[in-house]
Structure 1
């Protein structure tokens, strides 16, 4: 990460090493996209933002999901396509997302796109549009 795009200070929800579970809805909301759909959405969002999309966490196990971290309270305000799930406070109980450290061994999690001071969260409107586009459907509200 370039010094100009570094987080200073690093948010408290990012662990110093390894990875940690964080309660969704406290520091961020999340949107999970499963498998290849998640990869495609991540690439589109990153390409549209000149590869400064904000925090996207990639899981390397199971369904290999992407977790797009959004500003708290923003995920539930949209209807998401099949294969894409909003995770926010109060939605079907408690939800947690694994968050990797910025450096070092973090497997099975890693950053597909890191948070920066300029982009502390993924833009929810852009993510919503790209999720519907990549799902092969027209945008639905």
Structure 2
């Protein structure tokens, strides 16, 4: 695996597989072997989707992760950069899920737009706004250097 993306992508299917029972454990729902096998194949397809890095922003797939199962997510790494990336991708966005941005421009536009903020869109908008603000401040203060 390369960089912080590899461990995150690998953790998704492992967590899912640990949290979901095999269909044979629920004979009341899947009484016949054929039904169990069909459900097992459906679960395998979900695991295949979870392992793909390009699904990191696919909301349908993300709903199946540990957070979607109502669990808290934890991640660790010896590399502090990987820890920061994991925090930014796993721990912080759910705290702001569905919330609007708080930056002044978004606040002025809020009444006009009537937009619903899905997932971490509001947080992403604030990161863009304040990141640009910091860049502009740095340019003003030390740009001549």
Instruction: Establish whether TM, by shorter chain, passes 0.5.
Output: no
* TM tier relative to shorter chain: under 0.3
TM-score (norm 1): 0.22
